[in-house]
């Protein structure tokens, strides 16, 4: 079975400081990993994904994530947080080979960036 | 480019009334389609997914049902709404391969009173 854990319900950082939102996963086989962001009363927006290759993945809005196979982690990072980054962030996983199976999502982490 | 639409955006319904939420995708063919529910701005609960017309997989037993009458149309229904059906309903689509991203619609806010 596949699963995703986001150990922090909430993360608070000061504007301009680096931010990290943590994600660990469990799959049988190799993972496809995704990060999404959700603003209030909106659908989820895709940020980035890891499929294969370089462990450091760059995505939208200056976000990046590092795939660490030994720690089964895929933490989301940004060097300098903006107030506008405040939102709900979801990590998701699908195992390879997976065929037509839905993504498995974590419970979400609420990021608050304080001015 | 592909776009996904959901309507209505907001819905207030009395307990016991029927429900029909619609989702359509443009700019792609033979997509995988998904219905999720999100309660209280937190985690996502997968309700149904479909890999083709008339093919529906149900993830959670409840009073909701889904149908896919056309390739790019996915409908969520209920014959009698419960208070617990209130929430934010999200439709998503993806391509067929495992590495494909799921793309979400804008959502429908349902309040059952």
**Cα-to-chain-centroid distance, residue A37:** 8
Asked if residues B24 and B72 have their Cβ atoms less than 8 Å apart, the reply is yes
Per-residue confidence (pLDDT) for residue A95, from 0 to 100: 82
Question: pLDDT by residue (tens digit) across B12-21?
Answer: 999 999 999 9
Question: pLDDT by residue (tens digit) across A54-74?
Answer: 999 999 999 999 999 999 999
* A59 to A5, A31, B29: CA distances (angstroms): 21, 18, 26
Per-residue confidence (pLDDT) for residue B41, from 0 to 100: 65
Instruction: Please list the ranges in chain B whose pLDDT falls under 70.
Output: 41, 61, 98
If one compares A101 and A47, the residue with the highest pLDDT of the two is A47
Count of pairs with CB atoms under 8 A, one residue in A, one in B: 56
Phi, psi of B68, rounded to the nearest 5 degrees: -130, 85
Distance from CA of B77 to the nearest CA of A (A): 20
- The separation between the first and the last C-alpha atoms of chain A, rounded to the nearest angstrom, is 41
Q: Give the residue from B4, B64, B58 showing the smallest Cα distance to B31.
A: B4
Interface of A with B (CB under 8 A): 32, 34, 36, 40-46, 49, 51, 88, 90, 92, 94-103, 105-108
For the cut 70, the answer to whether the pLDDT of residue A99 exceeds it is: no
Give the whole-angstrom CA distance, residue A12 versus residue A113. 6
């Amino acid at each position: 079975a596949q699963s995703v854990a986001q150990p922090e319900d909430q993360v608070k950082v000061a504007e301009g400081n680096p931010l990290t939102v943590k994600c660990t996963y469990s799959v049988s086989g190799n993972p496809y990993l995704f990060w999404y962001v959700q603003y209030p009363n909106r659908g989820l927006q895709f940020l980035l994904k890891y499929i294969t290759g370089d462990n450091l993945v760059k995505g939208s809005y200056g976000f990046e994530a590092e795939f660490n196979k030994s720690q089964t982690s895929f933490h989301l990072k940004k060097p300098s947080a903006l107030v506008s980054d405040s939102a709900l962030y979801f990590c998701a996983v699908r195992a390879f080979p997976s065929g037509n199976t839905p993504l498995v999502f974590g419970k979400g982490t609420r990021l608050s960036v304080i001015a | 480019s592909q776009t996904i639409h959901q309507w209505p955006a907001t819905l207030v319904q009395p307990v016991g009334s029927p429900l029909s939420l619609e989702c359509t995708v443009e700019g792609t063919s033979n997509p995988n389609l998904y219905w999720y529910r999100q309660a209280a701005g937190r985690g996502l609960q997968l309700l149904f997914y479909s890999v083709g017309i008339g093919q529906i997989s149900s993830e959670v037993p409840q009073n909701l049902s889904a149908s896919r009458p056309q390739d790019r149309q996915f409908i969520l229904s209920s014959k009698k709404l419960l208070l617990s059906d209130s929430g934010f309903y999200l439709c998503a689509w993806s391509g067929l391969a495992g590495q494909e991203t799921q793309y979400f619609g804008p959502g429908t806010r349902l309040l059952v009173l």
